[in-house]
Structure 1
Amino acid sequence: MYGKKAIKREIYQIIIPMILENILQISANLVITAMVGRLLANDISAQGICIRITDTLWCFYKGVAIGATVLIARAYGAGRHQECRKIAEQTMLTELIIVLIFQVVLYFQAPLFLGFFSKDAQILSLAQGYMKTIVFGFPFVVIMTVVTASFQGYGNTKVPMYIAVLMNVVNIVCGYCFIFGAFGVPGMGIKGAAAALVTAQAVGACTGLYLLYKKKGGLFRKMPAAHRFFSFDRRCIYDIYTTGIPAALESMFWQFSAIILSKVILFYGNQAFAAYQLGIQAEEITEMPAIGFSTASTTLAARAIGRQDEELRKIYFKELLKVGVVISSITSLLLIFLPRFFMTLMTDKPELQAIGVVYVFVMGFIQIPQNLSRIYNGTIRAMGYKNAPMLVAGFGIWIVRIPLCMLAAYVLGLPLTAVWLIIAVDQVSRFLLSAVLYYRINKKRERAIQTV
């Protein structure tokens, strides 16, 4: 028998540091966004279209790292500790090679990609400067995702939280100096925001590597390498990427849709797009406690599966759902009743606040289904159904969100609020599909166990 108090304690030991990490990370992003929000609408739009591209790449890095987290958690649960180091290092090596290609292409061909979003010469000029700075942080982002995956696979979410504290302090301090100019540093506008972020990423990556490999207290200190870092293990790489790529595609679907959606919203004008970017950041304030649900459910389910303990997996799942409902209910009420407060934090421009308030209000009604979907999909992935969460995301985005948004804007000429409502319908449809898939998979597993 499992003590529910012990199970809850284990869940909270994993999820609370993740919540704090997300709060710190998003808070820093919000501070930087608020700083940029004090600049001109063109600056906000320029940063926004760059973020659409860089976030798409981040989804790839993070998705592959999720594959590493699943495999590390299973190996750790089964007691194969040396395998954990190999998985982490193979992930890091292969991703660094891939990211080098992304860096070169985006640095030299930035106008080609940025031109998809806007034809405004001033916005494109600002965006190009931002992009040519931010690409230098790509290797650091890869290292950080692998470091985080390694610690989370072990169930240690405190170390990534501490690294996030350090990164955010660096990002905020450097952001203020580089954006507006201070302490002898000239103000660089959104180029300064990019430079501050790269600096913070470099500090975080170096700190993460130190904590992985330091002689005293490092995560891999008791696990001498069974292979050379610059050698390739084809089987290990295959397992990492076949598990991680579906997770990456799931997130990249959203990013691709965000690119198209950005184009749709720009149809309503630059101010509409700038308000949308700020509205997303405002919504993230209340998403901070829930973002860790997906990783927590994946880690805990994979660990239980590694131990071959089906009952423990089910208990983890049920307790996570309870926590998810409580937290999501609170965040939902905050967005519904205080949308103007959140938008005021983002910008002092009334015209942008007015547009963003409606977006934030609508998003308040989908917090519960959106956050519970993360728990369902994280557990489904850990159960070995790598492609299911990706297919769910694909259905919601490409069957519901994108076609209906394009129809509303380009064909029917509906107001911008219709786009916000379609986004909400997409999230609800994905939640329902995830729930149905989970219970079907669960029944299938139960039948398989009974026949063994």
Structure 2
Amino acid sequence: MQKDKFTLWALSWPIFIELFLQFLLGAVDTLMVSRLSDDAVAVVGFSNQLFNALTTLFATVAGGAGILIAQKLGSDREEEARTVSIISLKVTALIGAVLSVILIIVPGPIARVLQMPEELVPLARVYISIVGGGMVLTAVMSTLSTAIRNTGNTKGPMYTAVGMNIIHIVMNYGFIFGAFGFPQWGLTGVAISTLVSRLIATLVLLFIYVGTFQRQITVSDLRIFDRRLFKEIMQIGWPLGVNMGCWVFSQLAIFSFLAMLGTQVLAARTYMNTLESFCFLLGYSVALATQIQIAHLFGGGRTKEAYSAAYRALKIGMPLVMLNALVLLLAGKYLLSLFTSDPEILTIGVSLLWMNLLLQPGKMLNMALGDALNALGDTRFVMNISLISMWLIATGCSYLLGVSLGWGVVAIYACMITDEYFRGALSLIRWRGRKYLRSKEAEMERERLKESPACHALHPEEGLSFS
């Protein structure tokens, strides 16, 4: 395994391109759907929050496996890394298939349970059943991309994202405007476009994955299941999944609160979600690359390098997100006008752009240090602070201040900002404590001492002297 694949630059720039293209996919999706109606935009934004929430069910396995793959490769145990990837693929595919069936059968009741405005339910029923029906593709695509990326090959998922974006944009345009001989199917067409582009991306990633490890993966390998390795995956993965679930479900709850404030507020938040993605793309790509790098260094016992890598991510990422937030503030009103001409939505959006200046540095602090802790396997700590902060501060206070007291979307944003900084500060304290790094150093010292007596047993005369 080439070590230079795990440098920060080699890992981060393809991740950034991939994330940027995903952002572009979402932005173009929202822009094109806005040509249909603001209601359609609200349905897409709301439904995507639901899908993000459900992905945590298989992201638990995929995320844990990704970290473990990088750690195993760092300690030169490629066969175990290969087995971990196969196990995670099988398990996540099964979870995704179950979710697909549920979303196809009961999309309407799900929308109502989530407090979606009644006038949006008919559109939501169509969109959720089609896009949600492909949740198995999302599960497989996510797992393959994570496995490939954590072997140091960040270019493969990037090139796949390029192709997926091109296909999705072309099909979106065709279905919405009736171009290229496509039927003009509106939001239904957008859903079909999403499904088809993900299917193609999954097939491409599967082709790359087969040759990712030194020993090629075959169909017969799908019978492999190692309980010990699966236990290792879940030890890292289940707290990681709970942490991700906390964030996604809290965001889903917040979207429900926004829906209570009206469709225009919900649409404004959806537009802001798209614009905010621009702010932390570079920062998040650095944080994600650092997670892979730290996991690899940690697996190889290079603890000092792993410790300093987190601070390097902050040093690089923090200025980037702050600059991007400033650019967005200056150009935000124009960008929002590309999506909608509704004056109330524009007013809400512009007011949130100022708060975004405070939000993004907190996010960067959280991303860099949270991902660094996850890379070491310290996922339970990240989970615990997420359970406390996201539900009490981000969600609980958002409902109390934004809905109950009637302070609206600005109060909800203030709660989200507070949550980011609170978790970031606790993660910084934890990282400075070096708990897992010290444990690794102690483990390596014990291994060294075990080997030392063995050497003396083989050559006892080396310890003797004669006068």
Shared fold, TM over 0.5: yes
Aligned to 1:368: 361
1:193 aligned residue: 190
C-alpha separation in 1, matches of 2:338 and 2:202 = 30
Residue 230 of structure 1 and its aligned partner are, at CA, apart by 3.0
Task: State the one-letter code of the partner of 1:100.
Answer: A
Residue identity matched to 1:211: I
Contact kept, 8 Å, 1:331 with 1:364, in 2: the verdict is: no
* Of 270, 279, 282, the match for 1:286: 279
Q: Which has the larger displacement, 403-412 or 299-308?
A: 403-412
State whether structure 2 residue 173 is matched by structure 1 residue 176.
yes
* Shift, 1:443, TM fit: 5.6
What are the within-5 Å matches in structure 2 for residues 30-429 of structure 1?
30-118=27-115, 120-213=117-210, 218-220=211-213, 222-223=215-216, 228-429=221-422
Structure 1 residues 447, 198: CA separation in 2 closer, same or farther (over 3 Å shift)?
closer
Deviation sequence 1:380-436 (CA, Å, 0-9, x none): 112221211122222221111111111113332223322222221111111112111
Which structure has the larger Rg? 2
> AA paired with 1:273?
L
Letter of the 2:395 partner, please give it: I
**Native 8 Å contact 1:151 1:219 kept in 2:** yes
**Residue-by-residue CA offset, 1:73-125 (whole Å, 9 max, x unaligned):** 01111111122221111101011111111111111111221102346443101
Deviates more, 1:124-133 or 1:283-292: 283-292
SS of the equivalent of 2:152 reads coil
Match of 1:13 in 2: 10
- Return the letter of the residue paired with 2:107: A
SS across alignment from 1:208: helix
Of 347-356 and 431-440, deviating more is 347-356
| Letter of the structure 2 residue corresponding to residue 153 of structure 1 | N
**How far 1:141 moved relative to its partner?**
1.4
What residue identity is the alignment partner of 2:274? Q
- The structural deviation recorded for 1:354 is 1.6
Structure 2 stretches lacking a partner, 5+ long: 446-467
- Which of 399-408 and 312-321 deviates more? 312-321
Matched residue of 1:413: which SS? coil
Alpha-carbon separation, structure 1, partners of 2:167 and 2:328 = 29
Number of aligned residue pairs = 442
Is contact 1:81-1:223 (8 Å) kept?
A: no
Identify if the C-alpha distance between structure 1 residues 8 and 164 changes in structure 2 by more than 3 Å, giving closer, same or farther.
closer
1:317-375 residue CA offsets vs partner (Å, 9 max, x unmatched): 23222111221221232234333133234334333222112223212222122112111
Length-normalised TM-score, structure 1: 0.92
- Residue 101 of structure 1 aligns to which amino acid in structure 2? V
Q: Which amino acid aligns with 2:190?
A: A
Pairwise CA RMSD of aligned residues?
2.3
Task: Give the helix-richer structure, 1 or 2.
Answer: 2
Q: Distance in 2 between matches of 1:226 and 1:187?
A: 40
Judged with a 3 Å threshold, the aligned counterparts in structure 2 of structure 1 residues 224 and 418 are, in CA distance, closer, same or farther, namely closer
Letter in 1 for 2:405: L
**Could you say what secondary structure the match of 1:291 adopts?**
helix
* Contact 1:293-1:371 at 8 Å conserved across structures: no
- 8 Å contact from structure 1 (residues 30, 346) kept in 2: no
Summarize the Cα distance change of 1:93–1:127 in structure 2 as closer, same or farther, 3 Å threshold: same
Instruction: In structure 1, give the amino acid aligned to 2:78.
Output: H
Aligned with 2:377: secondary structure?
coil
Match of 2:85, as an amino acid? A
Question: How many angstroms apart in 2 are the aligned matches of 1:354 and 1:317?
Answer: 38
Q: C-alpha deviations, 1:45-87, integer Å up to 9, x for none? A: 2222211211112233334222111111011111111222211
Which has the higher mean CA deviation after the structures are superposed, 301-310 or 288-297?
A: 288-297
Q: Distance in 2 between matches of 1:131 and 1:411?
A: 30
Are the counterparts in 2 of residues 67 and 240 from structure 1 also a CA contact under 8 Å? yes
Percent identity between matched residues is: 24
